[in-house]
Amino acid sequence: MSELDRAAMTLAGLTLAFLLAVAIVWWIRRPRPQVTLPKSPKMPREIRMPRLSRRAEPEIEPVEIAPARLARLRAQPVYDPLPDDEPPTEVAPIAAETESPPDPLPPEPIEAMLAAQVQAVEAQAHAAPEPSPIADNPISGHAVPVGQARLVAQIPPRDAILTRNWVGGRPRLPDAMPWPRIDGTDADFIAQIACADLPAGLWDGLGPRTGALAFFVHPETGAATALHLPEVGPPRAAPKPVGRAYFRPAGLDDDALHRLAVRAFPEWAVDVRGPDAPDTPAGTDAADAFFAATGYDLADPAFHPFDWPTMTVLAALLAARLPALETGTAPPPDASDELTEALADAAATNRDAAERAREILAIIDESAGQDGFSASDATAVMTALHAIHWSRVVVESDAESGEDRTETITLPLTRHHPDADLWVSDYRALLFDHARHSWCADPDSLSASARALFEPVWAALAAAEAPLVGGQPRHYAPGFDEERDAMLVELPASALTGIAPAQGASLILAIRKADLAVGNFTTLKALTGN
């Protein structure tokens, strides 16, 4: 036996001895009853029950579930929506008194009750009066309509730390959340909105008002989903470039040029505003004027490359177009002597231009990425290209005589001409694309002349191409049911965001009101507005 066991046995013995001593002392000192004679019993007295007031049984008012209360539920629905031709299920009134507790209801009546409640929410939402036109949003500081809101890009941007809403770029997902997938494929991020910034009457009062909503689409099929995030995390980079479903860089109609564009959606911080904001410029006119401009020269500092990616894009595009200069244009069989001579002279000029241009491109290839980029390097390259001239022969018919007139257009390699566009307009569109991404990341990454060129155009586009949240779609959308569906967001085909369906004027993400009421965002419909 160990020392520990002996100590335990000793302690137990002492405890029992103490308890025995206490019991003996109590037995000796216990109180003893005294014998007394019984008293004569008292005569019984009549006992009557007190009178109760006769009151009617209290009426139990029926319980109504408000849409806002139902919208706070976050569980998946446990019901199947009723068909349109079936009436809502009647719920039996609650009995005032029961003699015995009722038996628990089977699962089927519970599901029917939930389905009836959801349809009652839909009916209440449809019967609600028209909301007031404008309500103040204390968070964003802008006048926001009750039934619809616009997402207007911040130009110039404000404090990035305070940014709560944005289109494109990177989502703010919780650290533990994996990247969303649709049909087994990593999804493309579209937008994220802080629910607290949305008007209270948006979506007829349904949907969350805390956390954030993040929207994603399938990179190839375009199928959509949304996530309700109780909290946000740090910016999360996408696992791969965006797919072809909605990637449409402005001004780049040739798919071969897409490989030179930034394969992503730029991140535009947006404000939640009303649908009819004052002082809204004509954005489409500004965009059309930008891409249709003529007579400009890339030697202007506003068009200079501003980093090595834009410099290498310039070199790759120009290198792809130089063979057209070297081959030239063969004269037709019935060409006049004037036309034949003009084509021969233009071919000689262009072969010399191509040779000189390739010398500059070789210098760019040798220097790319080796040293830090500087604006002086860009100026030297554009000045050298401006000093190179090339020619194009244009044949026009004289309106009076009907005879063909031959004209040779000779201009610097950096000058744009509507009848002699070798590469300049495509470079301008690529520069527009790269400048969006760099400016969104850091506006100071562009030169003052570049910002003076691009920012007015972007501001006009931001006002004219602002996505819509709630309300009715701006464009007709086949498959959208105004009675049963709610429009979460409509993103117009935009030169600013680069988001657009392959064919159509807008991308519309819709959801059943019943699913919105219970927070089920897995069943979004991606529709194309015509």
Region of 41 (left: φ > 0; alpha: ψ -120 to 50; beta: rest) is beta
End-to-end CA distance of the chain: 93
Sign of the alpha-carbon torsion through 12, 17, 22, 27 = positive
Q: How far is residue 62 from each of residues 40, 95, 96, 106, 123, measured CA to CA in Å?
A: 61, 11, 12, 22, 17
Residue 204 neighbours by CB under 8 Å, 6+ apart: 67, 125, 128, 486, 513
Q: Strand 188-194 relative to strand 389-397: parallel, antiparallel, unpaired?
A: unpaired
Question: 332 burial class (0-12, 13-18, 19+ CB within 10 angstroms)?
Answer: exposed
124: number of Cβ within 10 Å: 16
Report d(CA 120, CA 124) in Å as an integer.
6
The one-letter amino acid code at 128 reads A
What is the DSSP-derived secondary structure letter of residue 203? G
Task: Give the closest residue to 210 by CA, choosing from 198, 224, 192, 196.
Answer: 196
> Alpha helices of 374-422 — where are they, by DSSP H?
375-386
Reported as half-sphere exposure (CB side, CA atoms, 13 A), residue 217 has a value of: 27
Predicted model pTM: 0.71
Q: Strand 224-229 relative to strand 212-217: parallel, antiparallel, unpaired?
A: antiparallel
Region of 211 (left: φ > 0; alpha: ψ -120 to 50; beta: rest) is left
Report d(CA 117, CA 78) in Å as an integer.
12
Query: Which domains does the chain show, CATH number per domain?
Result: 143-283+466-529 (2.30.320.10), 287-464 (no CATH)
Q: What is the pLDDT along the chain (530 residues), one digit of tens a residue?
A: 677 778 888 888 888 888 888 888 777 777 665 545 445 445 545 444 445 444 444 454 544 444 444 444 344 443 344 344 444 444 344 344 444 444 444 444 445 555 555 455 455 444 433 433 344 443 344 444 468 999 999 998 887 777 899 999 999 999 999 999 999 999 999 999 999 999 988 999 999 999 999 999 999 999 999 999 999 999 999 999 999 999 999 989 888 899 999 999 999 999 998 766 544 444 556 677 888 888 899 999 999 999 999 999 999 999 999 998 888 788 888 888 888 899 999 999 999 999 999 999 999 999 887 778 899 999 999 999 999 999 999 888 776 776 778 889 999 999 999 989 999 999 999 999 999 999 999 999 999 999 999 999 999 999 889 999 999 998 899 999 999 999 999 999 999 999 999 888 899 999 999 999 999 998 899 999 98
Q: How far is residue 494 from each of residues 253, 300, 310, 357, measured CA to CA in Å?
A: 14, 27, 22, 35
- Say what the pLDDT of residue 475 is: 87
The one-letter amino acid code at 436 reads R
Task: Give the closest residue to 474 by CA, choosing from 148, 146, 127, 222.
Answer: 148
Report d(CA 410, CA 412) in Å as an integer.
7
Question: 440 burial class (0-12, 13-18, 19+ CB within 10 angstroms)?
Answer: buried
Q: Which two tokens mark 88?
A: 């809502």
Task: Give the closest residue to 464 by CA, choosing from 494, 429, 489, 509.
Answer: 494
Task: Give the closest residue to 266 by CA, choosing from 449, 434, 489, 152.
Answer: 434
SS3 for 228?
strand
SS3 for 507?
strand
390: number of Cβ within 10 Å: 24
Report d(CA 272, CA 142) in Å as an integer.
7
Q: Which two tokens mark 400?
A: 């009076």
